[in-house]
Structure 1
Amino acid sequence: MRKVVGNSQYQKLANALLVLRLLRKGSTTRAAIARELGLQPSTVTYNINRLLEAGLVRESLQEPETGKTTTLGRRAVMLELNSDIFRVIGLELLADCGWASVLDAKGSVLYSQKVEYPTLEGFEPRERFEHLVKDVVDRVFSFCDGFPILGVGIALPGIVESNAQAVRDCWTHALKGQDFSSFFQKTFSFPIIMENDANCCVQRYLFEGAEERRDNFLYLLARRYPRTHVPEGVSPFGIGLGLVFGGTLYRGSESRAGEFVSAMMNPSVQGRQLATAMDDLETDGAMRHALLSELAANIRSIASVLDPQTIYLGGFLTDYFAEVQTLLSDDVRDKVVYANAHNDASEGAAVNVLSLFYRIPQVGDTSSGAWRWSSLLQSAIE
Structure 2
Amino acid sequence: MKLVGNSRYQKAANGSLLLDYLRRSGGASRRTLARELGLQPSTVTYIVNRLLQAGLVLEGGAVAPDSSLRGSGRRATSVEINRRYGAVIGLDLQADYYKAQVTDIAGGQIAALHREYEAASASFQELLVTVLTEVERQVPRGIPVLGAGVAIPGVVDPEGPVIEECWSHNLEGEHLGAFLAETFSFPVLMENDANCCAWKTLWYESSGQDDSFVYLLPRFHRQELLPPGYPSVGIGLGLVYNGAIYNGFTHRAGEFRSLFFEESGTVPGQISLTPEEMNRVSRDEGIRRKLVVELLRTLMLFMHITNPRALFVGGDLASQGDLVRRVLEEDLHREWKTLSRSGVEVTVLADAEYDAARGAAAAVLDTLYSIPRIGGREQDARIWRSLLTNLIDQP
For 2:344 and 2:197, how far apart are their aligned partners in 1? 20
Q: Which residue matches 2:331?
A: none
- Change beyond 3 A, Cα 1:64–1:98: farther
Q: Which moved more, 1:220-229 or 1:108-117?
A: 108-117
Greater shift, 370-379 or 63-72, is seen at: 63-72
State the shift of 1:99 in Å: 0.3
Mapped partners of 1:166, 1:342: distance in 2:
26
Partners in 1 of 2:41 and 2:197 — Cα distance?
39
- Work out whether 1:272 is the aligned partner of 2:269: yes
The 3-state SS of whatever aligns with 1:113 is: strand
Q: Return the offset for 1:41.
A: 1.9
Say what the alpha-carbon RMSD is for the aligned residues. 2.6
Q: Deviations over 1:3-61 (max 9, x none)?
A: 33331111111111111111112211112212222222222111111100011111123
Going from structure 1 to structure 2, the CA distance change for 1:130 and 1:231 (only over 3 Å counts) comes to: closer
Match of 1:12 in 2: 11
* SS of structure 2 residue aligned to 1:88: strand
2:145 is matched with: 149
Decide whether the 8 Å contact of 1:117 with 1:132 is kept in 2: no
Match of 2:124 among 119, 125, 129: 129
Letter in 2 for 1:152: A
Distance 1:173 1:44, change over 3 A: same
- Range with greater deviation from structure 2 (60-69 or 327-336): 60-69
**Residue type of the alignment partner of 2:135:** V
Shift of 1:365: 4.3
Question: Which one of the candidate residues 235, 238, 248 is aligned to 2:234?
Answer: 238
Picking from 334, 344, 347, the partner of 1:337 is 347
The answer to whether structure 1 residue 140 and structure 2 residue 122 are counterparts is no
Comparing 363-372 with 25-34, greater Cα deviation is found at: 363-372
Alignment partner, residue 360 of structure 2: 349
Are the aligned partners of 1:155 and 1:349 in contact in 2 as well (CA < 8 Å)?
Answer: yes
Alpha-carbon distance between aligned partners in 2 of 1:289 and 1:351, rounded to the nearest angstrom: 32
Partner-residue secondary structure (3-state), 1:266: coil
Q: Aligned AA for 1:197?
A: D
- Where in structure 2 are the equivalents of 1:211-290 lying within 5 Å? 212-213=208-209, 215-267=211-263, 271-277=268-274, 278=277, 279-282=279-282, 284-290=284-290
Q: Distance in 2 between matches of 1:49 and 1:297?
A: 55
Q: 1:380 and 1:192, CA in 2 relative to 1: closer, same or farther beyond 3 A?
A: farther
In the TM superposition, 1:1-382 aligns within 5 A as: 2-26=1-25, 27-64=27-64, 74-117=74-117, 121=121, 123=122, 128-146=123-141, 147-210=143-206, 212-213=208-209, 215-267=211-263, 271-277=268-274, 278=277, 279-282=279-282, 284-318=284-318, 320-328=320-328, 329-330=336-337, 335-339=345-349, 340-365=351-376, 367-379=378-390, 382=393
Taking the aligned partners of 2:70 and 2:92, their CA distance within structure 1 comes to 48
Whether the 8 Å contact between 1:221 and 1:341 is mirrored in structure 2 is no
In the alignment, which residue of structure 1 is the partner of 2:332? none
Deviations 1:216-239 (A, max 9, x none): 101000011111233444321100
1:59-109 Cα shifts (integer Å, max 9, x gaps): 123224979999776431111111221111101011111101011111112
- State the alpha-carbon separation in 2 of the partners of residues 344 and 66 from structure 1: 39
CA distances 1:123-160 after superposition (whole Å, capped 9, x unpaired): 5xxxx111211111122112210211110110101111
Q: Is the 8 A contact 1:276 1:294 kept in 2?
A: no
Which range moves more in the overlay, 36-45 or 346-355? 36-45
Contact (CA 8 Å) 1:115, 1:136: kept in 2 or not?
A: no
Contact 2:96 2:226 in 1 (8 A): no
Q: Could you tell me how far apart the structure 2 residues matched to 1:119 and 1:368 are?
A: 28
| Residue range with higher mean Cα deviation, 209-218 or 237-246 | 209-218
Q: Give the distance between the partners of 1:205 and 1:248, measured in 2 at CA.
A: 11
Q: Is the 8 A contact 1:100 1:346 kept in 2?
A: yes
Query: For the structure 1 residues 91 and 64, does the alpha-carbon distance in structure 2 shift closer, same or farther, using more than 3 Å as the test?
Result: farther
Structure 2 stretches of 5 or more lacking a match?
A: 329-335
For normalisation by structure 1, the TM-score amounts to: 0.90
Deviation at 1:269, TM superposition (A): 6.2
Q: 1:212 to 1:285 in 2, by over 3 A?
A: closer
State, as a whole percentage, how many aligned pairs show the same letter: 38
Contact 2:197–2:238 (CA under 8 A) maintained in structure 1: yes
Which string of whole-angstrom CA distances, capped at 9 and with x for unpartnered residues, describes residues 143-185 of structure 1? 2102111101101011111111221111111111111111111
Q: Kindly tell me: are residues 106 and 217 of structure 1, through their superposed partners in 2, closer, same or farther at Cα, counting changes over 3 Å?
A: same
Distance 1:22 1:65, change over 3 A: farther
User: Are 1:262 and 1:273, in contact at CA under 8 Å, matched by a contact in 2?
Assistant: yes
| Unpaired segments ≥5 residues, structure 1 | none
Q: Which moved more, 1:293-302 or 1:210-219?
A: 210-219
The 3 A distance-change label for structure 1 pair 227 and 65 is: farther
Distance in 2 (CA, whole Å) between partners of 1:362 and 1:65 is: 36
Question: Which stretch of structure 1 is more off in the superposition, 193-202 or 105-114?
Answer: 105-114
Contact 2:161–2:176 (CA under 8 A) maintained in structure 1: yes
Residues 159, 377 of structure 2: 8 Å contact kept: no
Letter in 1 for 2:10: Q
CA distance in 2, matches of 1:379, 1:171: 40
